[in-house]
Amino acid sequence: MPNIQRLRIEVAFCCIVASQLAGNAAEFQLKSEYICQRAVVRVGDIVDMSNVQPKEAREIAAIELFAAPVDRQTRALRASELRELLTLHGVDLTAVQMRGADEVRIRRGQDPRERAQSGRGSETRTAAALHARRLIARGEVIRNDAIEFRPLSAQATRRDYAATIDAVVGFEAIHAIEAGQPIPETGLRKPLIVSRNETVSLIARSAGVHVRTAARALELGTLDDLIAIETLDNPKHKRAARVVAPKTVEIFAGVPVVPATPTSAAGSSNG
């Protein structure tokens, strides 16, 4: 996260703390369901805030949490997992009351523009979608130069074709897409950078210190996904961690929770 954005968030939470001291406790209320129409899920999509100044609320609402589910798949996010994600983004929740649902279910829905266009009838339909400008190979990560907007042909069967750049660029093609073909969102996924059951590097951060150790990933993961892991020294100790790089995950800990060697400015003399 850029330093300026982190500073803004920290300032926002100073205002939250001040509001609570004044007798108006800030509240974050977790929704029970969210139908996502963008490539990324943000705090404001799944949380309603009260007793927070509008400017600060906008800053917090804009925090990006993770990639949206593909197609109409559903992802459940528990309130405890949300707390951990917010903490990873530098948000201090000690002065915030968390209310609402215990879990929010997030699924990918239809873009509003597609709904409007699909109701016009096949005779007058002018819906556009992203098409492959050239052959996109299986497993290729799609870039801007490989796609272009074109009207859907009259013969095209109505499907969930990608209609926004965010839904395509940076995603991996599950199957090859021929040149000139519309790109179905069901044929894309975020590049997998953590595999199930592989050993990953676990970074535990705490008050300016970070320690690194090894863990085992229990789920597949793409960038910014929250996945289950277990520490190698204690396989029964399972918790959620955020994917931050290939074969690398991160957690926030009030105190170190895994034995490891400090690698930050807090005391490592190695290197």
Residue 185 phi, psi dihedral angles, 5° rounding: -65, -25
* Mean of pLDDT values over 102-127: 58
- CA distances, 46 to each of 20, 24, 29, 41 (Å): 22, 22, 8, 8
Whole-number pLDDT of residue 10: 52
Do 34 and 97 share a structural domain? yes
- Which CATH number characterizes residue 161's domain? 3.90.1210.10
Give the model confidence (pLDDT) of 223-250 as tens digits. Answer: 888 899 998 888 778 888 989 888 999 9
Q: Which residue has the higher pLDDT, 142 or 6?
A: 142
- Give per-residue pLDDT as tens, 66-97: 777 766 567 888 888 888 888 777 777 777 88
Q: Which two tokens stand for residue 160?
A: 């969930």
pLDDT for residue 170 is more than 80: yes
98 and 37 part of one domain = yes
Q: Is 23 exposed, middle or buried (0-12, 13-18, 19+ CB in 10 A)?
A: exposed
Bigger pLDDT: 166 or 18? 166
Q: Which residues contact 69 (CB under 8 A, 6 or more apart)?
A: 36, 75, 106, 107, 108
Residue 249 lies in a domain: yes
Does the structure show a pLDDT above 90 at 178?
yes
Q: Could you count the other beta carbons within 10 Å of the beta carbon of residue 262?
A: 15
pLDDT at position 36 over 50 = yes
Q: Is the pLDDT of residue 38 over 80?
A: no
With pLDDT > 90 as the criterion, what percentage of the chain qualifies? 16
* CA-to-CA dists, residue 87 to 22, 91, 127, angstroms: 24, 5, 41
pLDDT of residue 265: 43
Query: Considering 108, 127, 161, which residue would you say is the last residue of a domain?
Result: 108
Residue after which a domain boundary falls, among 64, 81, 108 = 108
Give the per-residue pLDDT at 161: 85
213-223 burial code (b ≥16 CB/10 A, e <16): bebbbeebbbb
Q: How far apart are CA 163 and CA 214, in angstroms?
A: 40
Residue with tokens 């490539």: 39
Report how far residue 74's alpha carbon sits from residue 227's, in angstroms, rounded to the nearest whole number: 15
Torsion of CA 5, 32, 227, 45, to 10 degrees: -20
pLDDT of 8 > 60? The answer is: no
Check whether residue 139 and residue 78 sit in a common domain.
no
The reply to whether 74 and 136 lie within a common domain is no
Please give the single-letter amino acid code of residue 5.
Answer: Q
| pLDDT score, position 75 | 82
Contact 79, 106 (CB under 8 A): no
Cα-Cα-Cα-Cα dihedral sign, residues 157, 127, 62, 102: negative
Report pLDDT for 134.
94
Q: Tell me the whole-structure pTM to 2 decimals.
A: 0.42
User: Is there a single domain that holds both residue 139 and residue 165?
Assistant: yes
Task: Tell me what pLDDT residue 108 has.
Answer: 75
Query: Residue 203: which domain range?
Result: 192-262
Could you read off the pLDDT of 116-167 as tens digits, one per residue? 444 444 444 447 788 999 999 998 989 888 998 888 876 665 567 888 887 8
Structure confidence at residue 164 (pLDDT): 82
- Indicate which CATH number applies to the domain containing 202: 2.30.30.760
Which of 3-17, 50-64, 173-187, 223-237 has the lowest average pLDDT? 3-17
Q: Which residues contact 72 (CB under 8 A, 6 or more apart)?
A: 107, 108, 109, 160
Q: What is the SS3 assignment for 250? A: strand
Q: Where are the beta strands (DSSP E) in 57-181?
A: 64-67, 74-78, 96-100, 103-108, 128-132, 147-151, 172-173
- Side-chain-side CA neighbours of residue 228 (13 Å): 10
Q: Are 93 and 60 in contact (CB under 8 A)?
A: no
Q: How many domains does the structure of the chain reveal?
A: 3
Instruction: Tell me what the pLDDT averaged over the chain comes to.
Output: 76
User: Does the pLDDT at position 31 exceed 70?
Assistant: yes
Task: List pLDDT tens digits, range 45-58.
Answer: 999 988 877 887 88
Q: Judging by DSSP bridges, how do beta strands 248-252 and 199-206 pair with one another?
A: parallel
